[in-house]
């Protein structure tokens, strides 16, 4: 049984609590008190009997503020998550539009290449036909009659025109 006479400040230092909490503890436990020569209160404490575990300090106002801030942060986080989800949906829509337009551009490029190839083929046919027409014109006689060779060329020309027309219709 080790009894010590301590001031409230000494008791608070030993128990790791505030000075007011030490004073309140002495009152609650009805520990014997007396006055020292300098006028300070002394408390008789038997530490073998005193089993005291201080409660964690809770600043109630700070708790309310912290809880409110936590709610605000949770709300902000949810709002940001919703905004991210909305932007991802918009980006997905834009991505689909981009893919569709890219496929359309690829198809148009292929059609353009085909049209260019057909144009080159048609120009070749035109050049050949112009050569045939020029040969027929130079092969005419003064009387206006067309010789046998010119008639064959005219027949080839007509066949070439029909072939070109059939190819263009496909």
**42-93 residue pLDDT tens:** 988 887 777 766 666 665 566 777 888 888 999 999 999 999 999 999 999 9
Question: What does the pLDDT read at residue 53?
Answer: 67
* Closest among 48, 41, 40, 44 to 32, alpha carbons compared: 44
86-139: pLDDT as tens digits? 999 999 999 999 999 999 999 999 999 999 999 999 999 889 888 888 877 776
How much is the CA Rg of the chain, to the nearest whole Å?
54
Residue 49 DSSP symbol: T
DSSP 38-69: TS-EEEEEETTT----PPPP--HHHHHHHHHH
Can you tell me whether residue 140 is helix, strand or coil? strand
Question: What does the pLDDT read at residue 143?
Answer: 47
Confirm if 17 and 57 have CB atoms less than 8 A apart: no
- As a whole number of angstroms, the distance between CA 97 and CA 106 comes to 14
Where are the domains positioned within the chain?
3-46, 133-169
- As a whole number of angstroms, the distance between CA 50 and CA 48 comes to 6
Separation of CA 24 from chain center: 58
Q: Kindly give, in sequence order, each residue whose CB lies less than 8 Å from that of residue 135, ignoring residues fewer than 6 positions away.
A: 150, 153
Greatest Cα-to-Cα distance within the chain, rounded to the nearest angstrom: 158
Question: What does the pLDDT read at residue 142?
Answer: 47
140-169: pLDDT as tens digits? 544 445 566 666 777 778 888 888 878 777
CA angle 45, 46, 47 (to 5 degrees): 100
Residue whose structure tokens are 């301590």: 6
Q: Do strands 3-7 and 33-35 pair parallel, antiparallel, or not at all (unpaired)?
A: unpaired
Quick count: other Cβ atoms within 10 Å of Cβ 94?
10
pTM: 0.38
Question: What does the pLDDT read at residue 140?
Answer: 55
């Amino acid at each position: 049984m080790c009894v010590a006479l301590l001031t409230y400040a000494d008791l608070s230092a030993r128990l790791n609590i505030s000075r007011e909490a030490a004073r309140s503890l002495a009152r609650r436990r009805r520990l014997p008190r007396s006055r020292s020569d300098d006028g300070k209160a002394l408390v008789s404490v038997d530490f073998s009997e005193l089993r005291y575990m201080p409660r964690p300090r809770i600043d109630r106002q700070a708790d309310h503020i912290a809880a409110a801030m936590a709610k605000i942060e949770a709300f902000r986080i949810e709002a940001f998550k919703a905004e991210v989800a909305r932007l991802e949906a918009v980006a997905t829509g834009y991505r689909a539009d981009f893919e569709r337009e890219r496929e359309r551009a690829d198809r148009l490029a292929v059609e353009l290449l085909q049209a260019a190839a057909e144009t080159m083929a048609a120009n070749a046919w035109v050049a050949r036909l112009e050569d045939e027409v020029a040969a027929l014109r130079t092969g005419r006689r003064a009387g206006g009659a067309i010789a046998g060779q010119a008639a064959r060329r005219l027949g080839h020309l007509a066949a070439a025109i029909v072939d070109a027309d059939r190819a263009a219709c496909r």
